[in-house]
């Protein structure tokens, strides 16, 4: 009830999102939002077109929050700790020493940008198939002058190449390959695109239920480089198959749900509380960077 009072008051006074987000009021609104003094609901959906510095643990980068970029708006008004607080530090721990990272489901490029800012010697292969989102990924990479270190693909990844049906969700970050999607996108296997040279150190994967087939398409990479794999796998996804596939390649599995890195014998997302479910798969050959206790 208390959190809704500022929103109700603003509406009663005729204060709209666009007024609050306009340049004269924007710095104050941003400060108040970050201190939880005004609700994010009052700000999301406002016409926001601004390039700002995103402060992440150990590094910062420029981000262009374009109109209708819900994720960019969330970063502008809040901080990384309000988004994926249990995932960002784990990603950073592995990214800062990696030679190559694969960002699967890159969206507008947050993890790609963070990795490049954190690790100047890194190269990133980023995959984002949505035609309305991929240009924003490219724009953010260009704004940071990371072009020479990033290879960007407007492709979805799976276990076979071709063209596939793709569902565009109301929240574009939730879009995924499916049988009856609204658009068609190009599909490829990671094994056909990534060099088998032992340099792929980290894979971040967010493919909304398509994890098993995406991993099937990178089995040669798993055998060649044994990359650490940080992935989302929510209830309803083939979690058991995903876990068994990774374990068949010698991987150990860890849950990151709730911020506690807990070793798993099997991967069953339904056994965890509601919300996004993120997991970590590490190979024994990479024990030099071990999960935290």
| pLDDT band with cut points at 50, 70 and 90 for residue 5 | very low
Residue 292 has pLDDT above 90, yes or no: no
Query: pLDDT (tens digit, 9 = 90+) per residue, 263-284?
Result: 999 998 888 776 678 999 999 9
How far is the C-alpha of 106 from the C-alpha of 124, rounded, in Å?
A: 11
In this prediction, residues 113-117 reach a mean pLDDT of: 98
- Mean pLDDT over residues 245-257, rounded? 95
Residue 75 has pLDDT above 70, yes or no: yes
pLDDT at 8: 53
Q: What's the pLDDT band for 229 if we cut at 50, 70, 90?
A: very high
pLDDT on residue 293: 47
Check residue 176 and give its pLDDT: 84
Mean pLDDT, the chain, integer: 89
In this prediction the pTM is: 0.90
For the chain, the three-class secondary structure string (H helix, E strand, C coil) is CHHHHHHHHHHHCCCCHHHHCCCCCHHHHHHHHHCCCCCHHHCCCCCCCEEEEEEECCEEEEEEECCCCHHHHHHHHCCHHHCCCCCHHHHHHHHCCCCEEEEECCCCCHHHHHHHHHCCCCEEEEECCCCCCHHHHHHHHHHCCCHHHEEEECCEECCCCEEEEEECCCCHHHCEECCCCCEEEEEECHHHCCCCCCCEEEEEECCCCCHHHHHHCCHHHHHHHCCEEEEECCCCCCHHHHHHHHHHCCCEEEECHHHCCEEECCCCHHHCCCCCCEEEEECHHHCCCCCCC
Residue 42 — pLDDT band, cuts 50, 70, 90?
Answer: confident
Tens-place pLDDT, residues 89-109: 999 999 999 999 999 999 999
Q: Please say if the pLDDT value at position 83 is more than 60.
A: yes
Highest-confidence range of 69-73, 178-182, 218-222, by mean pLDDT? 218-222
Above 80 in pLDDT, residue 188?
A: yes
- Domains defined for the chain, CATH in brackets: 1-47 (no CATH), 82-286 (3.40.50.150)
- What pLDDT digit, counting tens, does each position of 122-139 carry? 999 999 999 999 999 999
**249 CB-side CA count, 13 A:** 24
Among 26-30, 113-117, 192-196, 286-290, the range scoring the smallest mean pLDDT is 286-290
The pLDDT value recorded for residue 16 is 73
Q: What pLDDT does 131 receive? A: 94
């Amino acid at each position: 009830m208390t959190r809704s009072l500022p929103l109700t008051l603003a509406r009663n006074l005729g204060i709209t999102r666009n007024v609050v987000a306009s340049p004269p009021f924007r710095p104050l609104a941003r400060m108040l939002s970050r201190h939880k003094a005004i609700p994010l609901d009052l700000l999301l959906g406002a016409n926001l077109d601004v390039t700002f510095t995103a402060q992440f643990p150990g590094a910062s980068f420029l981000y262009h929050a374009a109109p209708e970029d819900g994720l960019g708006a969330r970063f502008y008004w809040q901080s990384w700790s309000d988004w994926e607080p249990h995932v960002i530090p784990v990603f950073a721990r592995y990214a800062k020493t990696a030679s190559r990272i694969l960002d699967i489901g890159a969206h507008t490029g947050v993890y790609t940008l963070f990795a490049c800012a954190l690790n100047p010697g890194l190269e990133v292969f980023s995959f984002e198939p949505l035609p309305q989102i991929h240009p924003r990924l490219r724009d953010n990479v260009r704004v940071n002058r990371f072009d020479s270190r990033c290879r960007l693909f407007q492709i979805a990844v799976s276990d076979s190449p071709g063209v596939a049906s793709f569902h565009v969700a109301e929240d574009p970050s939730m879009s995924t390959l499916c049988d009856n999607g609204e658009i068609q996108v190009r599909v490829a296997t990671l094994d056909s695109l990534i060099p088998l040279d032992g340099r792929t150190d980290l894979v971040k994967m967010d493919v909304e239920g398509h994890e098993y087939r995406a991993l099937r398409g990178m089995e040669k990479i798993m055998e060649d480089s044994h990359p650490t794999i940080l992935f989302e796998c929510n209830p309803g996804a083939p979690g058991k198959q995903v876990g068994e596939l990774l374990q068949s390649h010698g991987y150990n599995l860890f849950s990151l749900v709730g911020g506690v890195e807990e070793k798993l014998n099997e991967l069953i997302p339904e056994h965890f509380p509601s919300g996004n479910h993120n997991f970590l798969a590490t190979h024994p050959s990479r024990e030099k960077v071990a999960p935290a206790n």
